[in-house]
């Protein structure tokens, strides 16, 4: 972090997550002498933010959030100290390729996708000296329309960090995010937290997309809850062969977490599929099947669910063949 100039933080992708994180940051630091918040947005979103700022509805509060720069041009973004990537998982590499030139020496990249293999998939693209601090966020926050975001009350917690490495920058950005009112923890044990989130989000993404029900409607139906638990159990088997330490109450914790979300919440995966959008099927599901195959592990509930998803959503963009 450059101590003589403002710390410049760019948020890439101003949708549900970028709109929450970027919105809270831009709102808090709008007149700051030390911190500058930049949005990397494009198309309709960029146009809406240029015209009226970003509107963030969070619980019963509404924030009008104006970044110092709102652009899809790396030249206008300029040099930055941190890049928080809030696009879908299938866009992270293109963001990194395009905006790597903006990263100051010693800059950090923070990710927020529902993935457990960010290091492996992004490592080759990292410029020298740049730290990738993988992260994940427990939240439900979605686009109402371009430039207007709704964050639903309920779990709201950002984690990012390293595996067994101290990071002064990590600690400094934790503080900057906390000061903007974002519940954030920098951890030196990120792999375990990424898996905890993945263990929840991959099974619930499947069940919610196959049923198109809200989280509370899923909880009311024993068949759907059983399926959620069966998928979670298979994912635990994968975590075990990969030697990922997990809480012994992982299944109960998952069901409890589902209860904590606002009753009206739907997963981002189910919303994307319902709208006919591209989906994160590769990072949420194909990844599990591919890794299981590598370890000669059979995951029949995952295999069946994958086929059902491909049949239900013919536009689905999976990289592996369902048959
Ligand atoms: N929504 C949620 O509640 C949660 C989501 N997550 C995870 O967070 C990540 C983000 O999800 P979410 O916020 O829902 O996604 P959204 O689709 O709401 O937002 C992604 C945004 O990124 C933009 N974008 C993509 N590529 C670029 C680019 N090159 N330049 C500028 N903008 C770009 C998209 O713009 P465009 O429309 O033009 O493509 C879109 O506005 C996902 O991995 C998701 O799984 C995690 C927890 C909860
Ligand atoms: C399930 C949920 C809402 C939990 O944060 C999520 O991560 C998503 O929909 O992508």
> How does pLDDT run across 90-113, given as a tens digit for each residue?
999 999 999 999 999 999 999 999
**In the predicted model, what is the mean pLDDT of residues 265-272?**
98
The answer to whether residues 231 and 301 touch, using CB atoms and an 8 Å cutoff, is: yes
How do residues 287-305 score in pLDDT, each as one tens digit?
A: 999 999 999 999 999 999 9
Question: Which of 16, 67, 204 gets mutated to test ligand 1 (max ligand atoms within 8 A of its CB)?
Answer: 16
Give the total residue count for the chain: 323
Domain's final residue, options 160, 188, 216: 188
Structure tokens at 36: 């500058």
Question: Does residue 214 share a domain with residue 182?
Answer: no
8-state DSSP, 152: P
Residue at 2 is within a domain: no
Question: Does residue 230 share a domain with residue 124?
Answer: no
Question: Does residue 224 share a domain with residue 92?
Answer: no
The answer to whether residues 225 and 218 touch, using CB atoms and an 8 Å cutoff, is: yes
Q: Is the ipTM of this complex over 0.85?
A: yes
Ligand 1 neighbourhood includes 118 CB (under 6 angstroms): no
Is residue 3 over pLDDT 60? no
Which pLDDT does position 321 carry in this prediction?
77
Closest listed ligand to the CA of 89: 1
How do residues 184-197 score in pLDDT, each as one tens digit?
A: 999 999 999 999 99
Structure tokens at 230: 């069966």
The answer to whether residues 45 and 13 touch, using CB atoms and an 8 Å cutoff, is: no
Question: Does residue 142 share a domain with residue 76?
Answer: yes
Which pLDDT does position 38 carry in this prediction?
98
Pairing of strands 184-187, 103-111: unpaired
Of residues 108, 142, 148, 85, the one with CA closest to residue 7: 108
How do residues 123-151 score in pLDDT, each as one tens digit?
A: 999 999 999 999 999 999 999 999 999 99
Read off the pLDDT band of 4 (50, 70, 90).
Answer: low
Which pLDDT does position 323 carry in this prediction?
60
Residue at 82 is within a domain: yes
Is residue 317 over pLDDT 90? no
Residue at 196 is within a domain: yes
- Dump the DSSP string for 270-317: HHHHHHT----HIIIIIHHHHHHHHTT---HHHHHHHHHHHHH-TT--
d(CA 81, CA 88): 22
Q: How many domains does the chain have?
A: 2
Expressed in angstroms and rounded, the spacing between residue 16 Cα and the centre of ligand 1 is 6
Q: Give the domain range for residue 213.
A: 192-312
Residue at 322 is within a domain: no
Strand, helix or coil at 241? helix
Question: Does residue 158 share a domain with residue 77?
Answer: yes
Strand, helix or coil at 135? strand
Which pLDDT does position 147 carry in this prediction?
98
Domain's final residue, options 167, 188, 209: 188
Residue at 1 is within a domain: no
Residue at 250 is within a domain: yes
Read off the pLDDT band of 319 (50, 70, 90).
Answer: confident
Question: Does residue 184 share a domain with residue 196?
Answer: no
Strand order in the sheet with 54-58: 61-65, 54-58, 148-151, 141-145
Question: Does residue 175 share a domain with residue 30?
Answer: yes
Question: Does residue 237 share a domain with residue 90?
Answer: no
Strand partners, 9: 37, 82
Residue at 263 is within a domain: yes
How do residues 26-79 score in pLDDT, each as one tens digit?
A: 999 999 999 999 999 999 999 999 999 999 999 999 999 999 999 999 999 999
Residue at 323 is within a domain: no
Expressed in angstroms and rounded, the spacing between residue 249 Cα and the centre of ligand 1 is 31
Read off the pLDDT band of 8 (50, 70, 90).
Answer: very high
Question: Does residue 160 share a domain with residue 36?
Answer: yes
Expressed in angstroms and rounded, the spacing between residue 300 Cα and the centre of ligand 1 is 30
Residue 281 Cα to chain centre, angstroms: 14
Pairing of strands 54-58, 61-65: antiparallel
Question: Does residue 229 share a domain with residue 137?
Answer: no
Q: What is the CATH number of the domain that holds 197?
A: 1.10.1040.10
**In the predicted model, what is the mean pLDDT of residues 76-89?**
98
Mean pLDDT in the chain?
A: 96
d(CA 221, CA 219): 5
Q: Which residue has the higher pLDDT, 142 or 118?
A: 142
Is residue 2 over pLDDT 80? no
Structure tokens at 282: 């590769």
The answer to whether residues 173 and 108 touch, using CB atoms and an 8 Å cutoff, is: yes
Expressed in angstroms and rounded, the spacing between residue 238 Cα and the centre of ligand 2 is 21
Q: What is the CATH number of the domain that holds 63?
A: 3.40.50.720
Distance set, CA 231 to CA 35, 225, 302 (Å): 43, 10, 6
Residue 11 Cα to chain centre, angstroms: 12
Ligand 1 neighbourhood includes 119 CB (under 6 angstroms): no
Q: Whose CA is nearest to atom 31 of ligand 1?
A: 41
* 271 Cα nearest atom in ligand 2: 9
d(CA 306, CA 274): 16
Question: Does residue 150 share a domain with residue 276?
Answer: no
Look up tokens 């209860």; give the residue: 259
Is residue 210 over pLDDT 90? yes
Domain's final residue, options 147, 171, 188: 188
Question: Does residue 232 share a domain with residue 162?
Answer: no
């Amino acid at each position: 972090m450059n101590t003589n100039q403002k710390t410049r933080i760019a948020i890439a992708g101003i949708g549900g997550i970028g709109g929450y994180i970027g919105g809270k940051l831009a709102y808090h630091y709008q007149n700051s002498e030390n911190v500058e918040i930049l949005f990397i947005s494009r198309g309709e979103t960029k146009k809406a933010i240029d015209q009226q700022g970003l509107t963030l509805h969070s619980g019963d509060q509404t924030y009008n959030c104006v970044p110092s720069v709102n652009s899809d041009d790396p030249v206008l973004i300029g040099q930055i100290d941190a890049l928080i990537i809030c696009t879908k998982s299938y866009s992270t590499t293109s963001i990194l390729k395009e905006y790597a030139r903006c990263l100051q020496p010693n800059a950090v990249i923070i990710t927020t996708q529902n993935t457990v293999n960010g290091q492996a998939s992004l490592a080759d693209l990292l410029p020298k000296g740049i730290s990738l601090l993988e992260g994940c966020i427990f939240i439900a926050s979605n686009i109402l329309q371009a430039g207007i975001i709704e964050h639903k009350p309920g779990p709201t917690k950002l984690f990012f960090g390293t595996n067994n490495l101290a990071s002064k920058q990590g600690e400094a950005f934790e503080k900057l995010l906390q000061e903007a009112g974002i519940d954030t923890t920098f951890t030196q044990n990120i792999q375990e937290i990424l898996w905890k989130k993945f263990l929840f989000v991959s099974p619930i993404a499947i069940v919610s997309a196959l049923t198109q029900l809200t989280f509370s409607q899923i909880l009311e139906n024993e068949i759907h809850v059983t399926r959620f638990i069966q998928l979670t159990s298979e994912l635990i088997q994968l975590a075990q062969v990969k030697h990922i330490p997990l809480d012994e109450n992982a299944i109960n914790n998952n069901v409890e977490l589902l209860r904590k979300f606002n009753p009206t919440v739907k997963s981002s995966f189910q919303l994307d599929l319902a709208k006919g959008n591209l989906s994160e099927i590769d990072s949420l599901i194909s990844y599990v099947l591919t890794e299981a195959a590598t370890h000669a592990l059979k995951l029949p509930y995952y295999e069946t669910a994958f086929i059902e998803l491909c049949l239900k959503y013919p536009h689905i963009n999976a990289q592996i063949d369902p048959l």
